[in-house]
Each structure stands twice: as C-alpha cells, then as structure tokens.
C-alpha cells in the first residue's frame, strides 16, 4: 500500500505516526507546502508578544521524518487531487500516486475582500511566515486595529498591546466570543479586555482600508467612523484549504465531508483536522470547530483507518481555553445559543469575578462556561465527552469551592 498524507501539522503528523504503527514497512509520503512544518500555531500569539522565544515553537526535531521513516515533500503545495487516477499533483508538475490518501490540509484566515486589503500593514496570523511578516513590519508605536473578537483575535490583540501598541478591537456582535459566551461571562471578559487598555467597538465591521504610499493609514467602519491606524490584523475565522479538490464532490465551502470513520465519499480518501467537516459529538450534526485537540484526535482515527482499522470518531467536542493576563475563561460543548430546551445552572461570584454556567440535557452535561476559577474543567470535560449521566442538574456549588 502507498500512503500519501497532505498536511504536516496537528492532524497530518498524528495520522502519519498512528499509521506507521499499523503499517511498519509501507511507504508514507507526507506533504506540506511549508518548508519547515511541525510547529505550534497556538504559540504564534506568544511569539508575537515576545513572551515565548522563537525556538520554542518547534514541536518536532529536524530529523522527525527520518526517525519515523516518512518520505517528506516540503515547500511545495498540492494543486490537484485526481481521485479517478489515484494521484496527487504538485505545483512543480510532479504527481504522486496513492492507494490511500489522507487530506489534513488545515485552513487559512478569511478576509473580507475589501478595498485596501492589499496594502502593506494588513495582516493575518496563521503561519510562522505570517508571524515573521508581522514581526518585521509592525511599527514600534501607533495603533493597530484587530478585526474579530474570537479567541485568536483576543489573544492577538493582547499580544499587540504587550508590544506597546495601541489596540482597537472591532467586533461584529454585541460582545466578545459571541458564539460561545452568555452575557454574564461576556461582561466579565469585556471588563478584562478594557483593563488591558484595549479599546473594543461592538456592532462594527470595516468597510474600507485607506493607505498612503502603499501603507495603511486608516480604516473606515460601517457607521462611517474612520480610525487612524498603522496596521490592520484580520481574525474573522478560517476557510478550509480544499481548492485542490475543485471538480470533485468531496468538499463544500464548510470543508471535506466525512463520515464517522472520517472517510470521504471516496473510500480511498480520508480527511482530518481543520479542513474536515465531521459530526458534532453533542448535536449529531456536521460542524466546523477548528481546534488543535480535535485535529489531533481526528488524525489518530484517520491514520488508523487508512490502514483499515475501522475506528469510529466520536465527534467534535468544542472547547476553548483563553488566558489573558491572569484572566481565565474555559468553555466547552454547547453554547448558550444552541441550548434551547436544556437546563442551565449558573452561579456568579461578582466580588471575585468568578462565573460558572453548566448546561444539561436529559440528565447529561452538554455545555460549560467557567470564568475565573477553572480548576474543575477537566472533570466537566470528562462528564461531557463520555456523556455520563448526572443525578439531575448538578448545582455548581457541589463541585465548586
């Protein structure tokens, strides 16, 4: 069997390592368009803030591919997958035949397609190359506008503020982390962001970016307000890297459609990680939720299934952990918007700035938000992941304090 894996990050590497155990002697080719993959994307914001030294970002040594007897193809993107011919085409013109293919090509930041996005000083942060561009191009002082108040946008805003820059955060919704937080948790997070000296504007989105001599000088919001700034960083979510599947029926705009074995509509092709569109553990519906542990878990199942192990992926369990200068927030499972018909038990400790909200459905924990005191998160995630029955809605106090 010839195995080919597109992607050498959380999902691709976990899949390749798992597959090697099932297929000790088979050729496994691992492709990455990045010249040196195998680094931690979650650490990129810490590189940006200079809290972590650049050499700490590497997850594997330079001899990783040799150690595992993988055949690496690095620094060359895949431009087409031909399922009929069982071949992967590279930009340079080569094509690689496969018997089983795993696509673990991840995702890339979305942009809005605005006038001015091509200007120098407009950034996204997904890759080490993005960080290098930011580190080289950011001004020493001045204002940066961060568009998007999701987890990555918040961490990036914090990092830029730590570099001594003035930061304006632009949020389309009425609160930060609007997909996952209820208004109580959001109010505590808002207060923490404000304490960090970051300005946050809600119900806002950019309509144009203005430049001078090719560099950003200002950004106009939907309400007509113009914010003078030296840089703009977009963090408005990601789109799956699936262009090379054009002409096949394997992917939609949400990603590559996979079943419970992480197989695609073509039984020779599997998908895992941010490029995939798998089932949600708690809703049973397909969902996109792009986090490192989910990519690793999917890589493990998909890697085994490339070798025919027939493992089942239980499903995506959303989880978010955010620490901003000593302010901790952990969420998981269903958010308040998905919790219709569920029982919610919440407890606010205002003086200490602690908040806990647990969501139950049919005697099982299906959602959680912890703010401030997050020590019990592990217990709650176990209850949720295994869908263990609890004796009626647990009052937070029984597990807390």
Contacts with ligand FAD by CB under 6 A lie at: 6-12, 31-34, 37, 41-42, 44-45, 77-78, 104-107, 125-126, 152, 241, 244, 273-274, 290-293, 295
Closest approach, Cβ 184 to ligand FAD, in A, equals 23
Closest approach, Cβ 130 to ligand FAD, in A, equals 8
The residue assigned the tokens 């996979």 is 258
Three state DSSP letters for 329-384 = EEEEECCHHHCCCCEEEEEEECCCCEEEEEEEECCEEEEEEEECCCCCHHHHHHHH
> Between residues 131 and 184, which has the closer beta carbon with respect to ligand FAD?
131
> Between residues 110 and 215, which has the closer beta carbon with respect to ligand FAD?
110
In angstroms, the Cα distances linking 62 to 10, 26, 178 are: 16, 22, 40
Closest approach, Cβ 78 to ligand FAD, in A, equals 4
> Between residues 131 and 360, which has the closer beta carbon with respect to ligand FAD?
131
> Between residues 87 and 399, which has the closer beta carbon with respect to ligand FAD?
87
DSSP strand pairing (327-333 vs 122-123) = unpaired
**Backbone phi, then psi, for 63, in 5-degree steps?**
-95, 15
d(CA 228, CA 240): 32
Task: Tell me how crowded residue 352 is: count the other CB atoms within 10 A of its CB.
Answer: 9
Closest approach, Cβ 327 to ligand FAD, in A, equals 15
Residue 342's contacts (CB-CB under 8 Å, 6 or more residues apart) are 334, 359, 360, 361, 366, 367
Extract the tokens encoding 272: 């895992």
Pick the closest to residue 102 from 391, 385, 343, 299 (CA basis). Answer: 299
> Between residues 31 and 186, which has the closer beta carbon with respect to ligand FAD?
31
> Between residues 186 and 317, which has the closer beta carbon with respect to ligand FAD?
317
Closest approach, Cβ 135 to ligand FAD, in A, equals 14
> Between residues 37 and 116, which has the closer beta carbon with respect to ligand FAD?
37
Asked if 278 and 316 touch (Cβ cutoff 8 Å), the reply is: yes
Task: Tell me how crowded residue 93 is: count the other CB atoms within 10 A of its CB.
Answer: 7
> Between residues 114 and 297, which has the closer beta carbon with respect to ligand FAD?
297
d(CA 261, CA 204): 41
Pick the closest to residue 381 from 326, 314, 323, 324 (CA basis). Answer: 314
For 257, how many CA atoms within 13 A lie in the half-sphere containing its CB? 9
Closest approach, Cβ 318 to ligand FAD, in A, equals 10
Closest approach, Cβ 343 to ligand FAD, in A, equals 28
> Between residues 151 and 334, which has the closer beta carbon with respect to ligand FAD?
151
Closest approach, Cβ 94 to ligand FAD, in A, equals 13
Closest approach, Cβ 251 to ligand FAD, in A, equals 13
Closest approach, Cβ 208 to ligand FAD, in A, equals 25
Asked if 362 and 347 touch (Cβ cutoff 8 Å), the reply is: no
Extract the tokens encoding 370: 């912890």
CA angle 10, 56, 322 (to 5 degrees): 65
> Between residues 45 and 230, which has the closer beta carbon with respect to ligand FAD?
45
DSSP, res 38: -
């Amino acid at each position: 069997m010839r195995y080919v894996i597109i992607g050498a990050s959380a999902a691709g590497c976990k899949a390749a390592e798992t597959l090697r155990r099932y297929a000790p002697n088979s050729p496994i080719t691992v492709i990455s368009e990045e010249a040196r993959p195998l680094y931690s994307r979650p650490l990129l914001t810490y590189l940006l803030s200079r809290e972590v030294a650049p050499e700490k970002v590497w997850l594997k040594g330079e001899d990783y591919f040799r150690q595992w007897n993988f055949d690496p193809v690095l620094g060359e993107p895949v431009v087409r997958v031909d399922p009929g011919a069982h071949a992967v085409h590279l930009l340079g013109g080569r094509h690689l035949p496969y018997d089983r293919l795993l696509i673990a090509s991840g995702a890339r930041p979305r942009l809005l397609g605005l006038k001015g996005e091509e200007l120098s000083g407009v950034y996204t942060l997904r890759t080490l190359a993005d960080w290098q561009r930011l580190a080289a191009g950011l001004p020493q002082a001045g204002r940066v506008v961060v568009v998007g108040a999701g987890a990555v946008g918040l961490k990036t805003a914090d990092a830029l503020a730590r570099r001594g820059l003035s930061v304006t955060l632009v949020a389309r919704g009425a609160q930060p982390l609007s997909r996952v937080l209820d208004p109580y948790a959001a109010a505590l997070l808002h207060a923490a962001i404000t304490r960090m000296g970051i300005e946050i504007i809600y119900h806002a989105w950019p309509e144009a970016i203005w430049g001078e001599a090719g560099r950003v000088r200002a950004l106009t919001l939907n309400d007509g307000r113009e914010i003078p700034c030296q840089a703009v960083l977009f963090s408005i979510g990601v789109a799956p890297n699936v262009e090379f599947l054009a002409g096949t029926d394997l992917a939609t705009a949400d990603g590559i459609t996979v079943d419970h074995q992480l197989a695609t509509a073509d039984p020779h092709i599997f998908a895992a990680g941010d490029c995939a569109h798998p089932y949600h553990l708690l809703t049973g519906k397909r969902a996109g939720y792009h986090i490192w542990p989910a990519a690793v878990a999917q890589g493990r199942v998909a890697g085994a299934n490339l070798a025919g192990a027939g493992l089942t992926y239980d499903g995506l369990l959303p989880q978010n952990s955010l620490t901003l200068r000593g302010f901790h927030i952990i969420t998981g499972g269903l958010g308040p918007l998905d919790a219709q018909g569920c029982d919610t038990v919440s407890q606010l400790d205002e003086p200490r700035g602690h908040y806990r909200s647990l969501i139950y459905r049919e005697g099982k924990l299906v959602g959680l938000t912890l703010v401030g005191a997050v020590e019990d998160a592990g217990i709650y995630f176990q209850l949720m992941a295994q869908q263990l029955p609890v004796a009626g809605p647990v009052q937070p106090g029984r597990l807390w304090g």
